[in-house]
Structure formats: C-alpha cells, structure tokens
C-alpha cells in the first residue's frame, strides 16, 4: 500500500514529482510509517499511541520547511485513499465496515498530529526569528552593524526598502511577543517594512518603505510613525533621521536613542517628534553628534555667509527678538535687520522670530563660538 500511495503521488501531485530525491524518500518513509502505525493501532486500539511520533518521527525536522502544510494534507489524503481502496482486499470477511470506520478515526488522529507538528515547527521558527530580529535591532542600536546584519535581515524577509528610519519609545507592559506582533500588523496595514524588538524598557522599530511610484504619496516620516504609534506606551516617541540603507540605520537608531534620553527637557514636544527637532536638547545632554550637526548645519554656513549675519542674529536674540532694538544696537535700519534675518532663515531653515527656532539658533551660536 505504501508503494501504491507513492506511485499515485507521483502521478497526481506535480510538486512531489519536482522534489529532490532526498525529499521524496522522506515522504515515502512517512507514508510507510503511517500505514504501519495504523495496522499496529488497529491490532491494539486500547494501547496508547503517539501518532505524531510514530508517523512523523521517521523524517527529519527539515521536512516541515521542504513540504508545506497544504502539500502534507495532499500527501495524507492520497495515502488514505489508497488504504480505503484496499479495504475490501485486506479486511477479514465481515469486518470491512469496522476497518473502514477505523481508517476514518485514524485519519482524524493523523490530521490532529499533522497540525501539531506544523504548529510546533512554526512556534520554534517564530521564537528563533524573534531572537534573530532582536539581534539585528540591537546591532543597529549599538553601532555594531556589519554585512552579517544584512544577511540576518534578509533571512527575516526584510525587503531592502529605499528609505529607512528608526522609531523609538517606551515599550508597553505585558508580553513582548504580543507587542511585536501588534507592530507587524500595524505595519502591514500601512504597507511598511519593519524590524522590531523590545530592548529593556524601549520599543525599537526599524521602518522602511519603497520609493513611491508616480501618483503615490510622498514619504513622510511623521505620518509613517503615526501609523505605529498606538503600539507604544505613554511617553515620548522619537523618529531618527531617514537613511538609504540598513547599515546606515545605525545613525538613525543612535539619534533616536539620544532624542529619547533628551526629550524630557522639552515637555511640550509633539508625539512623535523628529530627533533633529531635539538637537538643542541633545546637545545640552552631551550628544556629540547633535553638537556637530548644529555647528555644521547652522553656525558654519552663517559664518561663511559673512560676519554681518552672525552679528545681526546674535544681537537680535540678545535684544529679545526686537527688530528695533537690534537695529539701534547695529546702527542700521530695521528693514536691514529684517532682510538679514530672512537670509538666516534661508540658509539654516530656522526662523529667528519663532521661539523654538530661536532657541536652536542660540545653542548653535554658543557651540560654534566654543569650537
């Protein structure tokens, strides 16, 4: 019967014909073990039988990766059909119905055993994937990312998106596996790629997205983060800068971590908040990267544009953002001050008349002078 079952699989199941000989041999062993276990069970129906061990223990664990659950169901169905067709030949006279009922009961047990085997394999694979994912996220956060991180991410199904950022906040209380699964569901709904992990009290999410096709919405880090923010605990959620590849995500992760540490200095910060919007707080907290960024992106361009802009900005800030007061101190017309401040905004992206921007500019000026 086992030989007949294998022959029928070869005739009816294309996936079986296309399998390597080694895998076909494993399936043959499973079919043979299933029929042998049934005859033993039929002889001794009251004896305890571990069907999953008797039947599936003959094949290596890798078979659950080589053969899908759907293919396993087709294999079992084919084998059961062969056994049912042989009932009239193998049953004792008058015992045909009893044997047929026994086959049905045994088929049910085999179905449960199959579900158990694949469930255990999925749980083991899920636990391993979770550890691997946490390792990738931790490598990015600690700055130890290398080519190995790319291979691990690929094994997790990371699709190599074109734009990547790291979102970080407090992890909610409860089972971390449920938190990670909730993040994945939200990401699928928002059509985002994610790698995530709960590291201590922090929930870290590496978010990626492909470049939009014509007519699709443009990439907005804040909008992307908002689609996931419901899975974070109360408190600040910080978005690291957008980068182009996974190895560069180390910079985004470290900026997000620095922003999360410094966020307490800005109680009214939006949620989520960009790490670059926290540059002055990060600089005050000792973040070397934030200090360098403020000097390179604000002080140095203003210095290169001429001393008049730096002097005007400095005086304007010292005069409590008063155009007239700055004009008197500089001995120029208020319109000249107004023009120079517009130039400051054009060069730096920060408007001196805005309270938050003025704070950032003041910190950048102080750091530039110290340097």
Comparing 39-48, 71-80, 117-126, 157-166, the range with the smallest average pLDDT is 117-126
* 330 inside domain: yes
More confident residue, 80 or 132: 80
Same domain, 300 and 240: no
Question: 250, 276, 302: which is the final residue of a domain?
Answer: 276
Residue 184 confidence (pLDDT) above 60: yes
Q: Which pLDDT score, from 0 to 100, does residue 217 have?
A: 59
Given a contact cutoff of 8 angstroms between Cβ atoms, the answer to whether 203 and 171 are in contact is yes
* Mean pLDDT on 156-182: 87
In this structure, are 267 and 307 located in the same domain? no
Q: What CATH number is given to the structural domain containing 300? A: 1.10.10.2840
Is residue 281 in some structural domain?
A: no
Q: Would you state the structure tokens that stand for residue 358, as one six-digit string?
A: 């003025």
Q: Assess whether pLDDT exceeds 60 at residue 151.
A: yes
3-class secondary structure, 288: helix
141 inside domain: no
Task: Spell 22-47 as b/e; 16+ CB within 10 A means b.
Answer: ebbebbbbbbbbbbebbeebeeeeee
Q: Are residues 294 and 235 in the same domain?
A: no
The reply to whether 12 and 106 lie within a common domain is yes
Please tell me whether residues 1 and 121 are part of one structural domain: yes
Per-residue pLDDT of 249-284, as tens digits, reads 999 999 999 999 999 999 999 999 999 999 999 999
Convert 283-303 to b/e letters by CB count within 10 Å (16 or more is b). Answer: bebebeebbebbbebbbeebe
170 SS3 class: strand
pLDDT-derived band at 227, boundaries 50, 70, 90:
very high
Number of domains present in the structure of the chain: 3
* Neighbour-count burial of 181, counting CB atoms closer than 10 A to its CB (0-12 exposed, 13-18 middle, 19+ buried): middle
pLDDT grade for 294, boundaries at 50, 70 and 90:
very high
Domain that holds residue 312: 288-370
Q: Is the pLDDT of residue 121 over 70?
A: no
In the chain, the percentage of residues whose pLDDT exceeds 70 is 89
Residues 266 and 300 in one domain: no
Please report the pLDDT score of residue 30 as a whole number.
81
Within a domain: 145: no
Q: For residue 343, what pLDDT band results from cuts at 50, 70 and 90?
A: very high
Q: Are 27 and 94 within one domain?
A: yes
Look at residue 232 in the predicted model and tell me its pLDDT: 93
Residue 355 and residue 246 share a domain:
no
**Helices H, strands E: what count in the chain?**
19, 5
In a domain, 135, yes or no: no
Average pLDDT over the chain reads 85
> What per-residue confidence (pLDDT) applies to 129?
63
Q: Is 140 inside any structural domain?
A: no
Residue 167 sits in a domain whose CATH number is 3.30.70.2730
Instruction: Name the domain boundary from 125, 151, 172.
Output: 125
Domain co-membership, 62 together with 34: yes
Residue 218 sits in the same domain as residue 272: yes
C-alpha distance from residue 338 to each of 302, 323, 344 (Å): 16, 7, 10
Residue 46 shares a structural domain with residue 82: yes
309 in a domain, yes or no? yes
Q: What percent of the chain has pLDDT over 90?
A: 41
- Domain membership of residue 118 (yes or no) is yes
Together in a domain, 241 and 323: no
DSSP code for 296: I
**Residue where a domain stops, chosen among 75, 109, 125:** 125
């Amino acid at each position: 019967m086992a030989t007949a079952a294998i022959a029928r699989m070869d005739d009816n199941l294309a996936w079986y014909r296309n399998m390597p000989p080694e895998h076909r041999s494993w399936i043959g062993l499973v079919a043979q073990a299933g029929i042998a276990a049934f005859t033993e069970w039929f002889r001794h129906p009251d004896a305890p039988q571990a069907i999953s061990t008797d039947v599936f223990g003959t094949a290596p664990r890798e078979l659950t990766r080589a053969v899908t659950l759907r293919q396993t169901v087709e294999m079992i169905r084919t084998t059961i059909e062969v056994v049912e067709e042989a009932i009239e030949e193998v049953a004792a006279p008058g015992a045909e119905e009893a044997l047929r009922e026994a086959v049905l009961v045994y088929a049910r047990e085999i179905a449960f055993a199959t579900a158990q085997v694949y469930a255990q394999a999925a749980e083991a694979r899920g636990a391993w994937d979770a550890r691997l994912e946490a390792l990738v996220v931790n490598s990015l956060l600690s700055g130890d990312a290398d080519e190995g991180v790319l291979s691990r991410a690929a094994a997790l199904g990371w699709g190599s998106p074109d734009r990547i950022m790291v979102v970080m906040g407090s992890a909610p209380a409860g089972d971390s596996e449920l938190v990670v699964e909730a993040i994945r569901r939200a990401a699928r709904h928002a059509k985002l790629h994610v790698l995530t992990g709960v590291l201590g009290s922090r929930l870290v999410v590496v978010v990626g997205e492909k470049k939009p096709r014509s007519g699709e919405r443009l990439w907005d880090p804040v909008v992307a983060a908002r689609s996931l923010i419901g899975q974070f605990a109360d408190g600040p959620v910080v978005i690291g800068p957008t980068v182009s590849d996974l190895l560069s995500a180390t910079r985004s992760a470290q900026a997000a971590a620095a922003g999360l540490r410094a966020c307490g200095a800005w109680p009214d910060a939006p949620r989520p908040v960009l790490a670059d919007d926290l540059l002055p707080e990060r600089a005050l907290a000792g973040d070397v990267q934030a200090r360098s960024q403020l000097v390179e992106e604000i002080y140095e361009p203003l210095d290169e544009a001429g001393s008049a802009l730096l002097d005007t900005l400095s005086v304007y800030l010292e005069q409590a953002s008063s155009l007239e007061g700055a004009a008197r101190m500089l001995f120029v017309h208020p319109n000249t001050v107004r023009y120079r401040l517009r130039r400051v905004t054009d060069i730096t992206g920060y408007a001196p008349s805005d309270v938050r921007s003025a704070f950032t500019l003041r910190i950048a000026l102080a750091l530039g002078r110290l340097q």
